[in-house]
Structure 1
Amino acid sequence: MVTDVWYTVLIGLVALERLAELVVAKRNLAWSLARGGRETGFGHYPFMVVLHTGLLAGCLLEVWLADRPFTAALGWPMLALVVAAQALRWWCIRALGPRWNTRIVVVPGLPLVTGGPYRLVPHPNYVAVVVEGFALPLVHGAWLTAAMFTVVNAGLLTVRIRAENDALRSVHA
């Protein structure tokens, strides 16, 4: 079906965006480490990578194998949310500059970032992750992937946000 092809292209574009994030994160990790940055919370990182890779794979597999239909009344609003989540994510990356990372790395001596989306919400990047996690699968009716990712991601974010807050407190106490 034509919508299946376009959905596959969308997932491919999101995967390319993820690769771009990893390039930025690697560059920023080097910047942070050169300034005395310390990584914490690395125990959950491999699980996070698997979960986010699983989201993309689950989106495709559920649509292809379960023959999920594209329903315009759900698909178009969900696509708008996916685009909004990407915009929010890149706003976060821009606001944090070289301090943004997919890992938890804190450089001692640098003030907390309170501009951009961080003036509105403490962890705006995770808002983007949550929105994208349910919206991307629902663009093409992959409700099972949306539900599973949302539940598992809630547990992961509980661990991740706690680790990030602890790391920030350790250098801003």
Structure 2
Amino acid sequence: MYFTIFISFLILQRLSELYIARGNEKWLLSQGAIQYGQSHYPYMIAMHTLFLVSIIAEYVLRGGTPISWTFLVIFLVVLSFKFWALSSLGKYWNTKIYRVPGVYPVKKGPYKFLKHPNYMEVVCEIAFIPLVFHLYYTAVIFTVLNAAMLTVRIRVENKVWARVRD
């Protein structure tokens, strides 16, 4: 029962993020935004989709596992940090990399202190979400895959923003 509630919440949360990103994308494009990093985006979507599939598969293959209340609390703390980071970006947040000409990077919320707080949060999510149900294979495999993906993504994003003076 706990797993069904948790995975349903996770899938709904991810779908709502894509919905918000789509609305933000329309707004960004109306502001003259230019998209970057299109070549790696399909791989990122595939990785995040396979992450959810792997959580379900490992859970089922292991015959169900008990919930870790400690990791559930950690996940909820990470999730609250995510909401802070995303709300700080407002309409500029997206799952794709966009830059509106003449607009400077956001410097409020966690962005006052960290260059990529949302990516730090994604690292924590990928590592901790599977641990809520002791799914160690998924945690390790996707933490490594996510590190590779974020290496590419952050490199692209840093290159885009390097052209803008702080």
Q: Taking every aligned residue pair, what percent have the same amino acid on both sides? A: 39
Task: State the number of aligned residues.
Answer: 166
Extract unaligned runs of 5+ from structure 1: none
Query: Match for residue 140 of structure 1?
Result: 133
Query: Match for residue 161 of structure 1?
Result: 154
Return the match for 1:23 from 12, 15, 19. 19
Provide the rounded CA distance (Å) in 2 between the counterparts of 1:171 and 1:28. Answer: 21
Q: Normalized against structure 2, the TM-score is what?
A: 0.94
Structure 1 position 144, deviation (Å): 0.1
Q: 76-85 or 128-137, which moves further after superposition?
A: 76-85
Q: Residue 70 of structure 1 aligns to which amino acid in structure 2?
A: P
Provide the rounded CA distance (Å) in 1 between the counterparts of 2:106 and 2:36. Answer: 18
Contact preservation (8 Å) 2:104, 2:164: no
Q: Normalized against structure 1, the TM-score is what?
A: 0.91
Provide the rounded CA distance (Å) in 2 between the counterparts of 1:155 and 1:48. Answer: 10
- Secondary structure, counterpart of 2:26 in structure 1: helix
Structure 1 position 68, deviation (Å): 5.0
Contact preservation (8 Å) 2:84, 2:110: yes
Two-structure CA RMSD over aligned residues (Å): 1.4
Provide the rounded CA distance (Å) in 2 between the counterparts of 1:89 and 1:113. Answer: 15
Contact preservation (8 Å) 2:110, 2:117: yes
- Secondary structure, counterpart of 1:139 in structure 2: helix
Return the match for 2:42 from 37, 42, 46. 46
